[in-house]
Amino acid sequence: MLDQAYTGQERLSREEIRRKAIAADLPADALTRVDALPEGEYAEDEVVEALRLHGA
């Protein structure tokens, strides 16, 4: 999902990541991890790391 979300984008807001996660029909546990991200903008690698930490 993140590869497609970041196509042509360097950074995305948490809300944009959430909208794209919902559109991709991610499971509830993944959406919960996205919702746990602090407000702000993220590069793809930052989201991957943050979601890994929240999912651990």
| Interval 4-45: pLDDT, tens | 889 999 999 999 999 999 999 999 988 999 999 999 999 999
**Pick from 46, 48, 44: which is nearest to 6 by CA?**
44
pTM of the entire predicted model: 0.83
Give the start-to-end residue ranges of the domains of the chain: 2-55
For the chain, give the secondary structure using H, E and C: CHHHHCCCCCCEEHHHHHHHHHHCCCCHHHHHHHHCCCCCEECHHHHHHHHHHHHC
What is the reported pLDDT for 11?
Answer: 97
Q: Is the pLDDT of residue 54 over 80?
A: no
What is the reported pLDDT for 46?
Answer: 93
Q: Band the pLDDT of 1: cuts 50, 70, 90.
A: confident
